[in-house]
Structure 1
């Protein structure tokens, strides 16, 4: 195999990572699980998953030994690091960026930041979901979009909202059956 073939790697051919990862991860609209899944799929398909997740093979098979292998590893690591930076919001970027950081260090910092906020995000999102009233939206479509967004965000922080929706549905069915005025119910 010639040196030019061994130096090329599919990850360096990616000119716009946002073509592969269309979500910009933001602190205030946490879609971490979706973003991370898309990122891992892209990293795996470009043969660089080991830069964010430690491989399961013995270390002897993953350690770069020659100068060329070390240079390629460094090039790939900075490429994947730039992918992370290009797919997160400015506030997250400024929170995780550090000089000479590896991709795995940045990945782990980002994961820690978003998982640290998990419990407070669940409480906030559940409160927003339970207080969302159709009368506060211009139409049913906007209301449903908001509910879907909140449910997706809850799912992304590991708190499925199905039981909350079932309770809401049961409450609405009871209101309809008893003829309770929705506005009167909400004002109490």
Structure 2
């Protein structure tokens, strides 16, 4: 059998991809500039294309592009359009385009004015304080801004999130605030959040 006659090594997976009817089952978030969810959306997209062996559609196409590649790319485009807000789709849709070109346009939209956005969001994150918020709301607010920073290619390290949390606590949580830096291994952001939640819950039960 000639090499050209051999089936594509991922033909079975790609055939399954053509049967996907609802992209929301694979990409459960809708990309929206108001939601600061570009990184989350991009991660779900990467999982989907890896699952169905379509990663070559997220890089510049290597000519010559054959009819089968074009067919799969035309199948993948609705995945992109179906997982983004309509105003973003209006900006990036174009006749005769490729999935890579659309993804590049989407990325450019979210990375535009990157330096200014990094500065603004970094200052906003640094200024967050607990005040009268619950621990859950306090940590969610930080995580939301950290996600927005990741969207503009300026991810916040887990250790930096812990220190930012410590800085924003008031004296009511001074025990946890003073303990965390003394631990042999600094707790992760999620673990430190749980430490604070435990104190908040314990004190609430005492009051009751």
**What's the TM-score, normalizing by structure 2?**
0.64
Residue segments in structure 2 that go unaligned for 5+ positions in a row: 6-10, 176-208
| C-alpha contact 1:18 1:87 (8 A) present in aligned 2 | yes
Residue-by-residue CA offset, 1:113-152 (whole Å, 9 max, x unaligned): 2222432332232233233333364x33222221222223
| C-alpha contact 1:20 1:42 (8 A) present in aligned 2 | yes
Partner of 2:160: 163
1:135-154 paired onto structure 2 within 5 Å: 135=131, 137=133, 139-154=134-149
| Partner Cα distance (2:128, 2:114) in 1 | 21
The 3 A distance-change label for structure 1 pair 148 and 53 is: same
Aligned mate of 1:125, from 104, 107, 121: 121
Aligned mate of 1:37, from 38, 43, 47: 43
| Partner Cα distance (1:106, 1:164) in 2 | 33
Q: How far apart are 1:111 and its partner, in Å?
A: 1.6
Instruction: Work out the number of aligned pairs and report it.
Output: 163
| Partner Cα distance (2:135, 2:168) in 1 | 18
The 3 A distance-change label for structure 1 pair 167 and 84 is: closer
| Partner Cα distance (1:54, 1:100) in 2 | 15
**What's the TM-score, normalizing by structure 1?**
0.70
Deviates more, 1:26-35 or 1:43-52: 26-35
RMSD: 3.2
Q: How far apart are 1:33 and its partner, in Å?
A: 2.6
Residue-by-residue CA offset, 1:15-74 (whole Å, 9 max, x unaligned): 11111111211123333233222212211211222112247xxx57x732xxxxx1x333
Partner of 1:108: 104
Partner of 1:186: none
| Partner Cα distance (1:54, 1:113) in 2 | 18
| Partner Cα distance (1:167, 1:135) in 2 | 14
| C-alpha contact 1:17 1:83 (8 A) present in aligned 2 | yes
| Partner Cα distance (1:12, 1:97) in 2 | 21
| Partner Cα distance (1:21, 1:140) in 2 | 29
